[in-house]
Amino acid sequence: MFPVVPLPLSVTEADGSFVLSDATPVVVTDPLAAAMAHVFADDLAVETGLRLDVTSGSGAVHAGAIVCEVAVDDPELAALGVPQGVRADGRAAVSESYALAVTDDGVRVRGRGAEGVLRGLTVLRQLLVAAPADPETGARTLGAVRVVDSPRYAWRGLSFDVVRTFHDVATVRRVIDLLAMHRMNVLHLHLTDDQGWRIEVPARPALTEVGARGAVGDRRGGFYTVEDLRGLVRYAAARRVAIVPEIDVPGHSAAMLAAYPELLGDRPATAGERADGEAGQSTLDPDLEATWAVLSDVLDTVVDVFPSRYVHIGGDEAVGMPDDVHAAFVTRFASEVVARGRRVVGWQEASRGLLGPDALAQHWIDFVPTDGTTVDRSQFDHVDPALLDVLVEMFSKAPADVGRTLDQGTRAIVSPTAHAYLDRQYSAPSDDPAQEADRARLGLPAYAPGTVEDFYSWEPSTAVHALPAEAVAGVEAAIWCESVTDARDLDLLLLPRLAGLAERAWSPAGASSYADHATRVAAVAPAWETRGHDWFRAL
Ligand code: TNX
C-alpha cells in the first residue's frame, strides 16, 4: 500500500532507504521552487514535527538533502503528455508534472514547473506522515521509491458555499490546505446567493451593509473585505490553488435585491433574503440599466481582487424567469466578464445564453431523466408545493443543456450531484457511534443518501449523459452549506469523500480499487487529524 492520495501515475519501489531528520536540508536550485519549499517545510512541521531548513544551491550532487529543481524541458516529464482541460490560473497544464526519487543518497524532486515541485513535495509529505519515526529523534525512514506523475485533469476543484453559512477566513484557509494536500488546484468560492452577499464591493457598500447581514436560519452573517480576499488569493496561490470567484445571477440574488430592492423591477417574484435555504424566487431585472451599473461595479472589484483567468457567473435556478430573458441576461453578463479580459464559467443553465468556446459550463443536474420522460416529482417532497411546478419545469430543461454546451464549443466542468455534491447524506453508519447523530443531521435531505465509495467509483468522462469525453475540461466537487452550521460540520461532509473526488480528478481511470483507495485514505487521515479536522469515519 502506497500511503498517498491521489495515487500517482507511476510508482516504482526499490531497495534502500533514506533517513530524514531535522538536519536534512531542502536545497532549491530555482528561485521559483524556493517558495514551494517553504510551504512544504511549514506544512511538514505541522504534520510531523520535523523542522527542515530551506537553502539555495546548484543542481549538483547534494547527498543527504531534498533537492528541488524546475526542469521545463525534462524529457521524462515531457513524455507524460498533457493533462486534459484547462488551468483556472491560466498556467500551462503540464507544469504540475513532477518526478520524485528517494534513494539511499537523499530525495530529488523535479517539477516541469514550480507547481510540479510543490505537488511532488506534497506527495513526499504524505510519505513522511506514514513513515516510521524514531521515538527519540523524530527522524523518519523512507523506503526508496521513484514516482513519476502528472494529473489526468488540469482543473480539479471544489465549489464552496460561504453564503448559507458564512465561513471565516481561517476556515477558508483550512479548506485551501485540504485542497492542496490532495493536489487539487481550484477553490470556486460561491460568494453570493439568496441568503447573503459575501464580497465587499467598495463602490457599493449597501451590498454588504444590507446583503451580508444574514445567512440560513439564525446563523450569523458576514463578508470578506477586499483585504481578506487578497490575503486568501495569496495564500491559495502559494499552494498553487486558484480561487475562482462566483457572482450568482440572475437567480439566487435575493441578498443583492435586499440591498437594491429597485432592481427587482416588475418581475412577479418575492424579494428579500430567504432565511429558509430554499432558492429565492426573485431575479434581477435585465431591462433596468441600474442592474448593469451595480453588476459593473461588482465585476470591477472581482477582477481587481481575483487574478484568476475565470470568473463564475452562476446562472443556475433562475426560478420564474422566462427562458429568453434568462438567456439574454447570461449573454450580457458573460460579455461583461469577457470585456474585462476574463473567461466565463457558469452553471449548466448558463449554456442557454451565449457562452462560446472559451467558456466552461458546470454540469450538475443528474436527477432528471435524459430520455424525455417526466421528472419524478416525489424526489422534491421537501419543496414548498407553491414552488414545485416551477422547479420541475426548470429542471425538465436540463438535459438539453448538453447539446447547447456542445453546439457553442463550450467545454464542461463535471459536478454530477450523485458523485460530486458533498452535501449528500452518508448512507452508511460511521465506525464511531458518536457520529450517528451527525449523520442524521448533515447533508440535504432532498438527495438520496450516498456511500463514500459513490464519490470514488465513477467516471468523469461518461458521467454526464451525451457529453463526450473530450468535452470534459475538469472535475469539481461542491459543498453547499444549508445543513452545515460550523467548521466541524464542514469537515464531516468534506472528509473523507473529498479525497475520493481528488483521486478521481487526478489519477487515471481504473488506477486503483476502492478498497486500496480506502486503505490509502486511512494512511493520510492522520495529517487531517493533526491539523485539527474531524472526519466521518466510514471508509
Ligand atoms: C442547487 S447546485 C443549487 C444550490 C443549492 C444546492 C444544494 C446549484 C447550481 N444550485 O443553490 O445549495 O442545490 O445541493
In the predicted model, is pLDDT for residue 535 greater than 70?
A: yes
Q: What is the pLDDT of residue 270?
A: 54
Residue 413: which pLDDT band, with cuts at 50, 70 and 90?
very high
In the predicted model, is pLDDT for residue 196 greater than 80?
A: yes
Q: Which atom of ligand 1 is nearest the CA belonging to 277?
A: 12
Asked if 338 contacts 301 with a C-beta cutoff of 8 angstroms, the reply is no
For residue 49, tell me if it sits in a domain. Answer: yes
Q: How many Å apart are CA 538 and CA 130, to the nearest integer? A: 20
Residue 160 C-alpha to ligand 1 middle, in angstroms? 11
CB of 248 within 6 A of ligand 1: the answer is no
**Looking at 13-22, 188-197, 274-283, 489-498, which range is the least confident one?**
274-283
Domain limits at 448?
155-530
Instruction: Say yes or no: 497 and 514 in one domain.
Output: yes
Last residue of a domain, one of 149, 169, 200: 149
Q: What is the pLDDT of residue 162?
A: 98
Beta strand ranges found along 220-349 (DSSP E): 242-249, 310-314, 343-347
- CA distance readout (Å), 451 to 72, 359, 382, 426, 477: 41, 33, 22, 6, 15
Assigned C-alpha cell, 409: 464549443
Q: How many Å apart are CA 368 and CA 375, to the nearest integer? A: 5
Asked if 199 contacts 245 with a C-beta cutoff of 8 angstroms, the reply is yes
For 3-65, give the secondary structure using H, E and C.
Answer: CCCCCCCEEEEEEEEEEECCCCCEEECCHHHHHHHHHHHHHHHHHHCCCCCEEECCCCCCCCC
CB of 47 within 6 A of ligand 1: the answer is no
CB of 528 within 6 A of ligand 1: the answer is no
- CA distance readout (Å), 450 to 28, 96, 291, 429: 45, 32, 40, 11
For residue 174, tell me if it sits in a domain. Answer: yes
Q: At what angle do helices 514-530 and 497-506 cross, to 10 degrees?
A: 120
Q: Which atom of ligand 1 is nearest the CA belonging to 349?
A: 9
Question: Nearest residue CA, atom 14 of ligand 1?
Answer: 480
Q: What is the pLDDT of residue 109?
A: 97
For residue 5, tell me if it sits in a domain. Answer: no
CB of 96 within 6 A of ligand 1: the answer is no
Q: How many Å apart are CA 350 and CA 344, to the nearest integer? A: 10
CB of 446 within 6 A of ligand 1: the answer is no
What integer is the mean pLDDT of 268-284?
A: 62
320-334 tens-digit pLDDT: 789 999 999 999 999
Q: Which residues contact 234 (CB under 8 A, 6 or more apart)?
A: none
**Looking at residue 420, what DSSP letter applies?**
H
Phi-psi region of 16 (alpha: psi -120 to 50; beta: other; left: phi over 0): left
In the predicted model, is pLDDT for residue 446 greater than 80?
A: yes
Q: How would you classify the pairing of strands 411-414 and 472-479?
A: parallel
Residue 38's φ and ψ, nearest 5 degrees, are -65, -40
Using only the alpha carbons of the chain, give its radius of gyration. 23
Q: Which atom of ligand 1 is nearest the CA belonging to 364?
A: 2
Paired strand residues for 158: 187, 477
Pocket test for ligand 1, best of 276, 317, 351 (most atoms within 8 A of CB): 317
Q: Which residues contact 270 (CB under 8 A, 6 or more apart)?
A: 280, 281, 282
62-79 tens-digit pLDDT: 789 999 999 999 999 999
What integer is the mean pLDDT of 495-514?
A: 98
Residue 377: which pLDDT band, with cuts at 50, 70 and 90?
confident
Instruction: Say yes or no: 131 and 199 in one domain.
Output: no
Q: What is the pLDDT of residue 266?
A: 65
Instruction: Say yes or no: 349 and 248 in one domain.
Output: yes
In the predicted model, is pLDDT for residue 290 greater than 80?
A: yes
CB of 223 within 6 A of ligand 1: the answer is no
Q: Which atom of ligand 1 is nearest the CA belonging to 347?
A: 9
For residue 1, tell me if it sits in a domain. Answer: no
Residue 277 C-alpha to ligand 1 middle, in angstroms? 10
Residue 57: which pLDDT band, with cuts at 50, 70 and 90?
confident
> Among candidates 153, 167, 258, 162, which has minimal Cα distance to 208?
258
Q: How would you classify the pairing of strands 242-249 and 360-363?
A: unpaired
In the predicted model, is pLDDT for residue 492 greater than 80?
A: yes
Instruction: Say yes or no: 229 and 204 in one domain.
Output: yes
Residue 480 C-alpha to ligand 1 middle, in angstroms? 7
CATH number assigned to the domain comprising residue 104:
3.30.379.10
Q: What is the pLDDT of residue 32?
A: 87
Pocket test for ligand 1, best of 159, 316, 330, 482 (most atoms within 8 A of CB): 316
Instruction: Say yes or no: 232 and 261 in one domain.
Output: yes
Residue 271: which pLDDT band, with cuts at 50, 70 and 90?
very low
3-52 tens-digit pLDDT: 999 999 999 999 999 999 999 999 998 888 999 999 999 999 999 999 99
Q: How many Å apart are CA 386 and CA 192, to the nearest integer? A: 24
- CA distance readout (Å), 182 to 12, 111, 194: 20, 17, 31
Q: What is the pLDDT of residue 61?
A: 61
Residue 384 C-alpha to ligand 1 middle, in angstroms? 16
Last residue of a domain, one of 125, 149, 173: 149
Instruction: Say yes or no: 252 and 343 in one domain.
Output: yes
Asked if 50 contacts 22 with a C-beta cutoff of 8 angstroms, the reply is yes
**Looking at residue 450, what DSSP letter applies?**
B
Last residue of a domain, one of 85, 119, 149: 149
Residue 162 C-alpha to ligand 1 middle, in angstroms? 12
CB of 383 within 6 A of ligand 1: the answer is no
In the predicted model, is pLDDT for residue 528 greater than 80?
A: yes
Residue 44 C-alpha to ligand 1 middle, in angstroms? 36
Instruction: Say yes or no: 197 and 292 in one domain.
Output: yes
CB of 329 within 6 A of ligand 1: the answer is no
CB of 444 within 6 A of ligand 1: the answer is yes
Instruction: Say yes or no: 96 and 176 in one domain.
Output: no
Domain tally for the chain?
A: 2
- What order of strands is seen across the sheet that includes strand 98-103? 10-20, 140-149, 98-103, 106-111, 66-70, 26-28, 54-56
Instruction: Say yes or no: 323 and 452 in one domain.
Output: yes
For residue 536, tell me if it sits in a domain. Answer: no
Assigned C-alpha cell, 253: 440574488
Pocket test for ligand 1, best of 253, 480, 482, 493 (most atoms within 8 A of CB): 480
Q: How many Å apart are CA 114 and CA 68, to the nearest integer? A: 9
CB of 316 within 6 A of ligand 1: the answer is yes
What is the percentage of the chain residues whose pLDDT exceeds 90? 86
- How many Å separate Cα 81 from the centre of its chain? 24
Asked if 196 contacts 215 with a C-beta cutoff of 8 angstroms, the reply is yes
- CA distance readout (Å), 348 to 192, 266, 309, 416: 17, 26, 19, 11
CATH number assigned to the domain comprising residue 390:
3.20.20.80
CB of 160 within 6 A of ligand 1: the answer is no
CB of 194 within 6 A of ligand 1: the answer is no
Q: Dihedral of CA 129/135/137/140: which sign?
A: negative
Q: Which atom of ligand 1 is nearest the CA belonging to 415?
A: 2
Asked if 117 contacts 33 with a C-beta cutoff of 8 angstroms, the reply is yes
For residue 311, tell me if it sits in a domain. Answer: yes
101-142 tens-digit pLDDT: 999 999 999 999 999 999 999 999 999 999 999 999 999 999
Q: Which atom of ligand 1 is nearest the CA belonging to 417?
A: 14
In the predicted model, is pLDDT for residue 215 greater than 50?
A: yes
CB of 235 within 6 A of ligand 1: the answer is no
Task: Please give the single-letter amino acid code of residue 533.
Answer: H
Catalytic residue among 47, 115, 273, 317: 317
Instruction: Say yes or no: 401 and 341 in one domain.
Output: yes
Instruction: Say yes or no: 107 and 162 in one domain.
Output: no
Q: What is the pLDDT of residue 279?
A: 62
For residue 537, tell me if it sits in a domain. Answer: no
What ipTM goes with this model? 0.94
- Greater confidence, 517 or 276? 517
Q: What is the mean pLDDT of the chain?
A: 94
Q: How many Å apart are CA 503 and CA 526, to the nearest integer? A: 18
What integer is the mean pLDDT of 379-384?
A: 78
For residue 535, tell me if it sits in a domain. Answer: no
81-99 tens-digit pLDDT: 999 999 999 999 999 999 9
Instruction: Say yes or no: 282 and 364 in one domain.
Output: yes
Active-site residue, 529 included: no
Q: For the whole model, what pTM was predicted?
A: 0.97
Residue 9 C-alpha to ligand 1 middle, in angstroms? 33
Asked if 527 contacts 129 with a C-beta cutoff of 8 angstroms, the reply is yes
